[in-house]
Amino acid sequence: MFDFIKNEEEPCVYKKVSGSAVVFLVLYVDDILLIGNDIPMLTSVKVWLSKEFSMKDLGEASYILGIKVYRDRSKRMLGLSQKMYIDEVLKRFSMENSKRGLLPLRH
């Protein structure tokens, strides 16, 4: 599969490494998420995928599976947030006004 290596712990996650360039391919049902640090390699993977499968490029992900994806390119940072899900759970259990704990928890 285009020299991707399957992750043993996460069977829907694949990785391709070429020198310092890395691309992750994440599959979920009929969705594909590509993440990488090398635009030319990402582009070549997209071209290969579009030849193999009928697909539509939706651009950069802002939400996937209810998880917000945010970036700060100046700091070379990628983050994930499940705030909306947490708020829904708190509301479901009537805990919207509960006090926050310190995160991360320290043992």
Q: In what order do the strands lie in the sheet with 77-81?
A: 63-64, 67-72, 77-81
Q: What share of the chain is helix, strand, coil (3-state, %, to 5)?
A: 25, 35, 40
pTM over 0.85: no
36 Cβ neighbours under 8 A, 6+ residues apart: 21, 22, 23, 24, 42, 45
Walk along the chain (107 residues) and give the pLDDT tens digit of each residue. Answer: 578 999 999 999 999 999 999 999 999 998 899 999 999 999 999 999 999 889 888 888 898 888 999 888 899 888 999 999 989 999 999 998 888 776 665 55
